[in-house]
C-alpha cells in the first residue's frame, strides 16, 4: 500500500459543550477517539495520515476548561487556556512569573494563540523517527531507531532512557513542576489530582505515552499552590532557532533565599529524558548553602550524575550542567536571575 503524507482522512467530529459530555463521548468511542485541544500536535499526525482516529472530540467549545481562577490556595488554570492567555495574565506574571516566561518561549505567536497549557504539557514526543511514522517502540513497534550504531540522536535523551530515547519537548512542564503544580484529571472513575512531576511517565512505565492519561481520561485543570508565589525564578531554553523550535535542554527553578543563602529550591530540567527531570538530590544538596559559584558547581556536577549520552548528544551533559549552574547563581555578567 503506497504511503502518502498529505490530506487529512475523513473522521467524525464532536464538539461537546461540557466536560461531562466529552467524557461520555470518550467512553463511548474509547480508543477510536482522539481528544483535540489546541490541535497543533494532532494536526501533524492527521495530515501525515500516521494516526487516523475515527472520531475526534474537539474540546474548543467547553467554556469550563478555559480561564484562570483563584482558589483557596493559589490559582487554577483551565487546561484549555491558551499559552497567550497565560503569558498575558497579570496575576500569573506577578506571582508565578516563570510560567509565562516558559510559555512565551514555546513555539510561535500563532501557536501560542491557539495552543493550550494542557496541550503543551501533554504533548507527544518529537523524536524525528517517531514523528516520521517509523514503527518504533513509541509507535507500538519493537525497536528504537534513534539509539542504534548509526542512529541520529542529537536531540535525544541522556537520562532515564528505557529502550526509547525520546525526550519530553514541553517548555511549560518544567516550569509547572518547579511551581509544584497539581494536575486535575477527570477519569471515568471520577476526579484525581496528581503532582505535576508524577503526571509525566518514562518509557519504562509506558513506552507509548508521555503522561499518565489513559484513554477516557481528561486533563481539566492545573492548580498552582501559592507555596512558591513570588519566589526567585529562573527559566532558560536553549534551542537552535530563536522561535518555533524545541528545547535542546531547558531548565526551570523556583528558589526562596534569605540573603544570599538558598532556603529551599525546586529545580527541573527538560529535554534530557522522556519526562521532565526534577533534580531532588540537587535541591537537597544546595538547600542552606550560599548562592555562589561553588554551590552552583556542586549542583551542576550532581545534576548530570548518571547521564548516559548517545553518539550525538554528548553536548547535553555540559549544557545541562551549565544551565543548572545558571539556575543556582544566575548568568554571570547579567542581572542575577
The cell for 332 is 554571570
Of 94-102, 176-184, 284-292, 325-333: span binding another protein (CB under 8 A): 325-333
Nearest alpha carbon to residue 170 among 216, 136, 222, 210 = 210
Looking at beta carbons only, is 89 or 326 nearer to another protein?
326
CB-based contact 77:66 (threshold 8 Å): no
Interface with another protein includes 135 (CB under 8 A)?
yes
With contacts defined by CB under 8 A, how many residues of the chain interact with another protein? 101
CB-based contact 145:166 (threshold 8 Å): no
Interface with another protein includes 149 (CB under 8 A)?
yes
Exactly one of 159, 323, 327, 328 binds another protein (CB under 8 A); which one?
323
Question: What's the rounded Cα separation, in Å, for the pair 325 and 333?
Answer: 14
The cell for 290 is 550560599
Binding mask of the shown chain, residues 115 to 134, with x at each position contacting another protein by CB under 8 A: -------------xx-xxxx
Site for another protein in 282-321 (CB under 8 A): 312-319
Looking at beta carbons only, is 204 or 230 nearer to another protein?
204
Question: What's the rounded Cα separation, in Å, for the pair 219 and 184?
Answer: 6
The cell for 12 is 467524525
Nearest alpha carbon to residue 123 among 37, 193, 191 = 37
Site for another protein in 32-61 (CB under 8 A): 36, 39-40, 43-44, 46-49, 54, 56-58, 60-61
CB-based contact 103:86 (threshold 8 Å): yes
The cell for 203 is 518509557
Of 63-71, 181-189, 234-242, 274-282: span binding another protein (CB under 8 A): 234-242
How many Cβ atoms are within 10 Å of 223's Cβ, its own excluded? 21
Q: Where are the beta strands (DSSP E) in 145-287?
A: 182-187, 190-195, 218-224, 232-238, 249-258, 261-270, 277-278
Exactly one of 31, 71, 332, 336 binds another protein (CB under 8 A); which one?
332
Interface with another protein includes 335 (CB under 8 A)?
no
Site for another protein in 96-115 (CB under 8 A): 107-111, 113-114
Looking at beta carbons only, is 215 or 225 nearer to another protein?
215
Site for another protein in 202-231 (CB under 8 A): 202, 204-206
Exactly one of 97, 291, 325, 327 binds another protein (CB under 8 A); which one?
325
Exactly one of 103, 139, 231, 307 binds another protein (CB under 8 A); which one?
139
Interface with another protein includes 17 (CB under 8 A)?
yes
Exactly one of 189, 190, 242, 335 binds another protein (CB under 8 A); which one?
242
Site for another protein in 251-280 (CB under 8 A): none
Exactly one of 45, 67, 93, 163 binds another protein (CB under 8 A); which one?
163
Interface with another protein includes 162 (CB under 8 A)?
yes
Site for another protein in 77-96 (CB under 8 A): 84
Q: Nearest approach, Cβ of 262 to another protein (angstroms)?
A: 20
Whole-Å CA distances, 230 to 94, 148, 262, 284, 334: 7, 45, 15, 21, 20
CB-based contact 228:254 (threshold 8 Å): yes
Contacts with 60 (C-beta within 8 Å, 6 or more apart), sequence order: 15, 36, 80
CB-based contact 246:319 (threshold 8 Å): no
CA 276 and chain centroid, separation: 7
Interface with another protein includes 241 (CB under 8 A)?
yes
Amino acid at each position: 500500500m503506497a504511503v502518502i503524507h498529505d490530506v487529512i482522512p475523513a473522521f467524525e467530529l464532536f464538539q461537546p459543550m461540557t466536560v461531562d459530555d466529552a467524557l461520555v463521548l470518550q467512553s463511548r468511542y474509547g480508543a477510536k477517539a482522539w481528544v483535540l485541544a489546541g490541535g497543533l500536535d494532532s494536526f501533524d499526525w492527521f495530515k501525515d495520515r500516521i494516526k487516523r482516529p475515527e472520531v475526534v472530540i474537539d474540546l474548543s467549545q467547553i467554556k469550563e476548561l478555559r480561564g484562570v481562577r483563584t482558589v483557596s490556595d493559589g490559582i487554577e488554570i483551565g487546561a484549555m487556556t491558551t499559552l497567550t492567555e497565560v503569558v498575558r495574565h497579570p496575576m500569573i506574571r506577578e506571582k508565578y512569573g516563570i510560567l509565562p516566561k516558559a510559555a512565551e518561549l514555546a513555539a510561535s505567536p500563532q501557536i501560542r494563540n491557539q495552543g493550550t497549557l494542557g496541550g503543551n504539557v501533554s504533548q507527544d514526543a518529537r523524536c524525528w523517527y517517531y514523528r516520521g511514522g517509523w514503527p518504533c517502540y513509541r509507535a507500538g513497534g519493537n525497536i528504537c531507531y534513534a539509539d542504534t550504531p548509526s542512529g541520529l540522536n542529537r536531540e535525544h535523551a541522556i537520562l532515564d532512557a528505557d529502550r526509547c530515547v525520546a525526550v519530553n519537548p514541553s517548555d511549560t512542564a518544567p516550569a509547572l513542576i518547579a511551581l509544584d503544580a497539581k494536575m486535575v484529571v477527570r477519569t471515568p472513575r471520577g476526579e484525581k489530582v496528581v503532582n505535576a512531576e508524577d503526571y509525566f511517565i518514562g518509557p519504562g512505565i509506558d513506552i507509548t505515552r508521555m503522561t499518565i492519561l489513559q484513554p477516557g481520561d481528561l486533563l481539566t485543570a492545573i492548580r498552582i499552590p501559592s507555596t512558591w508565589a513570588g519566589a526567585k525564578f529562573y527559566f532558560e531554553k536553549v534551542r537552535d532557532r530563536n522561535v518555533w523550535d524545541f528545547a535542546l535542554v531547558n531548565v526551570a527553578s523556583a528558589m526562596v533565599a534569605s540573603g544570599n543563602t538558598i532556603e529551599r529550591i525546586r529545580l527541573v530540567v527538560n529535554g534530557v529524558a522522556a519526562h521532565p527531570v526534577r533534580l531532588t538530590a540537587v535541591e537537597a544538596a544546595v538547600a542552606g548553602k550560599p548562592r555562589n559559584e561553588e554551590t552552583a558547581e556542586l549542583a551542576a556536577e550532581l545534576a548530570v550524575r548518571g547521564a548516559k549520552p548517545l553518539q550525538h548528544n554528548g553536548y547535553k551533559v555540559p549544557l545541562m550542567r551549565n544551565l543548572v549552574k545558571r539556575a543556582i547563581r544566575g548568568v554571570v555578567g547579567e542581572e542575577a536571575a
